[in-house]
């Protein structure tokens, strides 16, 4: 009786995700890339010179297989009213590391707070015309508060669909957002962003399967195979890029990051099933 009730409540609360078919696939499994993986973390980027001169880790990240699909970003953002700390992406914050306890490996995106800026990491798909997709990723986040691990589709600030883990949040909370999240006066738009409890005992400091399905008129987020949230608000209507990043800017969203602090988005594998516009 009790379980029947639970099931019907769930069905009322969560719209059923749409079935979709996809013609294309991007897939990178970093677990088997242990031969080019570092045994331990490379030195933190502490100056602008180190940030700019850092080269891409040779091996898988310089292979055609990876380079054909993703570009490692090296641009930055200046200080603004909403972003009190400079952010500077570096090649040095994107690397494959060997797992200490197994023969496995994973891709790391790192953010580190220097005294002058946040040294961040971002990879973007070479494709800019992804139009509807199922994004699946096995990931873990660890480190200090003040950063955002982002897994998202992007066209512009009004066509963006996100999975975000904020390292200032409790370790069992994840954010599911369709932009725009704020109105013209900077106030939060109700329904744009949800702070969801991960459920099932899951915490983002451990490995989890995250998934975002972008279908016409509906966004659906899954965690470890279970439908977790749906939105009809702000479902992107423009062809988009796929982005993974680890960043902070001292603003309201990411919060403050202490000088000398670091945080990491670890990725075992990423799969993007997609159609194009």
Which residues contact ligand NAG by CB under 6 A?
41, 43-44, 112, 158-159, 234, 236-238, 260-262
* Min CB(43)–ligand NAG separation in Å: 5
Residue appearing with tokens 């680890």: 246
Hey, is 235 helix, strand or coil? coil
* Min CB(42)–ligand NAG separation in Å: 6
Given a contact cutoff of 8 angstroms between Cβ atoms, the answer to whether 22 and 211 are in contact is: no
* Min CB(27)–ligand NAG separation in Å: 28
Q: Which is nearer to ligand NAG, 153 or 270 (CB)?
A: 153
Given a contact cutoff of 8 angstroms between Cβ atoms, the answer to whether 266 and 107 are in contact is: yes
Q: Which is nearer to ligand NAG, 192 or 244 (CB)?
A: 192
Q: Which is nearer to ligand NAG, 21 or 40 (CB)?
A: 40
Given a contact cutoff of 8 angstroms between Cβ atoms, the answer to whether 122 and 241 are in contact is: no
Cα end-to-end span (Å), the chain: 48
What are the structure tokens assigned to 106, written together? Answer: 């994973």
Taking CA atoms, 254 is separated from 97, 148, 230, in Å, by 25, 6, 23
* Min CB(157)–ligand NAG separation in Å: 9
Residue burial 26-35, b: 16+ Cβ < 10 Å; e: rest: bebebbebbe
Given a contact cutoff of 8 angstroms between Cβ atoms, the answer to whether 111 and 237 are in contact is: no
Q: Which residues contact 105 (CB under 8 A, 6 or more apart)?
A: 30, 31, 32, 33, 34, 37, 96, 97, 98, 99
Q: Which is nearer to ligand NAG, 2 or 39 (CB)?
A: 39
Q: Which is nearer to ligand NAG, 8 or 237 (CB)?
A: 237
* Min CB(200)–ligand NAG separation in Å: 29
* Min CB(176)–ligand NAG separation in Å: 15
Q: Which is nearer to ligand NAG, 28 or 175 (CB)?
A: 175
């Amino acid at each position: 009786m009790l379980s029947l009730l639970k099931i019907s409540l769930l069905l009322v609360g969560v719209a059923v995700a749409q079935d979709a078919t996809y013609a294309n696939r991007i897939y990178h499994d970093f677990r088997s890339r242990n031969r080019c993986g570092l045994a331990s973390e490379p030195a933190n980027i502490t100056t602008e010179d180190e940030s700019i001169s850092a080269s891409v880790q040779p091996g898988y990240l310089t292979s055609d297989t990876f380079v054909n699909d993703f570009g490692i970003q090296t641009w930055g953002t200046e200080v603004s009213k909403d972003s009190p700390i400079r952010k500077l992406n570096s090649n040095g914050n994107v690397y494959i590391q060997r797992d200490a306890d197994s023969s496995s490996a994973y891709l790391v995106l790192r953010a580190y707070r220097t005294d002058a800026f946040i040294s961040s990491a971002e990879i973007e798909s070479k494709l800019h015309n992804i139009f509807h997709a199922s994004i699946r990723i096995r990931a873990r986040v660890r480190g200090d508060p003040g950063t955002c691990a982002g897994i998202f589709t992007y066209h512009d600030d009004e066509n963006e669909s996100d999975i975000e883990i904020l390292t200032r949040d409790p370790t069992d909370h994840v954010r599911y957002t369709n932009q725009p999240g704020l109105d013209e006066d900077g106030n939060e738009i109700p329904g744009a962003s949800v702070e969801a409890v991960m459920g099932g005992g899951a915490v983002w400091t451990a490995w989890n399967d995250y998934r975002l399905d972008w279908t016409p008129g509906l966004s659906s987020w899954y965690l470890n195979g279970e439908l977790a949230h749906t939105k009809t608000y702000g479902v992107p209507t423009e062809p988009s890029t796929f982005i993974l990043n680890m960043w902070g800017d001292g603003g309201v969203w990411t919060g403050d990051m202490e000088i000398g602090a670091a945080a990491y988005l670890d990725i075992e594998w990423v799969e993007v099933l997609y159609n194009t516009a």
